[in-house]
Amino acid sequence: MKKSNRRLAGTDENVNLFGSEGRVSESRANSNLLFFAPDGSAYDARLVAGLYDFESQGASLIRVTLFTTALQQLSIAGLNPKHSDYQHLGLTIEFSKAVNFAGGSWRFLTLEMMSSGMMWTFNAESEPTTNYDYQKKLSLSYDSLSPKVVARYIAEQQGRRYVYGKTDCQTIAMELASRLALHGRRLSSPSTLTHGPVLSDYADLNTQQVTGRFFLALAVVGLAVTVFYLIARSLLRYMGPSASMKIGMPMLFGLALFSGSPVPPCAVGGLWLHLHKKISTTVKPALLVCEEGEN
């Protein structure tokens, strides 16, 4: 892929709207080109301009795939829920022919709403596979579907930014998929007024909800809790209750936050609270004894 030095259409509009043109990243190893809309926006003027240009290049959409992938946080923990509410959603578009954009030639475009903004990725030969653990796929095939339908939807998103549950990967992907399902023209139909896909295909690739990583994660968390507990006991023994409360426990709690799991911080926090109550109950009687002795 030759890198283009030309300024992409829509860049100036992004700068005027958001103060930034948005990010772009090229991966030669995976033969893809990745863009992020600026400022967490669902709208990217570069994407809209590109889709209208694809129409002028004579390309149409022949397949639209609504997909879900496993959430990385849950995959690390060894959990793979079957319900799509606990999965990431996106949409991949296949063009009828290669389209030219940013110095490259592409057949696939993937749209995903991320917390940092709309992410759109071009692939030359196939849908993205690296770091994509597909769980479900719904593919809709078309005889003729204009890229302008996608462009109009993206243009309507101006002013929308990522908000979990309102404007996120699931809402954007489902809205766009529903819009596209109502469009497209069936060339084999005797009436040109017949719209929609000519073929649909569904695949459920979720086969294992709990993997071996789950038990490994449990062992790691258990080991981390044990280590933090032993350190806390050592601090209490060698520094004394008062010093460990003021110095040791805050340091230990800070280290627990970097463990990557909520369990160690909760365990250290619980021990910290227990020590605080224990010290409070032992200090107050001592003060009372002193006051009685003075009297």
Counting Cβ atoms within 10 Å, is residue 293 exposed (0-12), middle (13-18) or buried (19+)?
Answer: exposed
Q: Which residues of the chain have pLDDT under 70?
A: 1-5, 28-30, 184-196, 213, 228-229, 232-233, 235-264, 267-268, 271-272, 274-276, 278-295
Which pLDDT score, from 0 to 100, does residue 19 have? 94
Which pLDDT score, from 0 to 100, does residue 155 have? 97
Query: Could you tell me the pTM of the whole model?
Result: 0.71
Which pLDDT score, from 0 to 100, does residue 287 have? 44
Which pLDDT score, from 0 to 100, does residue 208 have? 72
Which pLDDT score, from 0 to 100, does residue 83 have? 81
The tens digit of pLDDT for each residue in 93-135 reads 999 999 999 989 999 999 999 999 999 999 998 898 888 889 9
Which pLDDT score, from 0 to 100, does residue 289 have? 45
CA terminus-to-terminus distance, the chain: 90
Which pLDDT score, from 0 to 100, does residue 12 have? 95
Counting Cβ atoms within 10 Å, is residue 116 exposed (0-12), middle (13-18) or buried (19+)?
Answer: middle
And the tokens for 28? 């030669």
Which pLDDT score, from 0 to 100, does residue 28 have? 63
Between vectors from CA 198 to CA 195 and to CA 202, what angle results, nearest 5°? 120
DSSP-based helix, strand, coil % in the chain, nearest 5: 45, 25, 30
Give the DSSP H or E segment for 272.
helix 263-294
User: Beta-strand (E) ranges in 49-145?
Assistant: 61-70, 87-101, 104-114, 117-123, 134-141
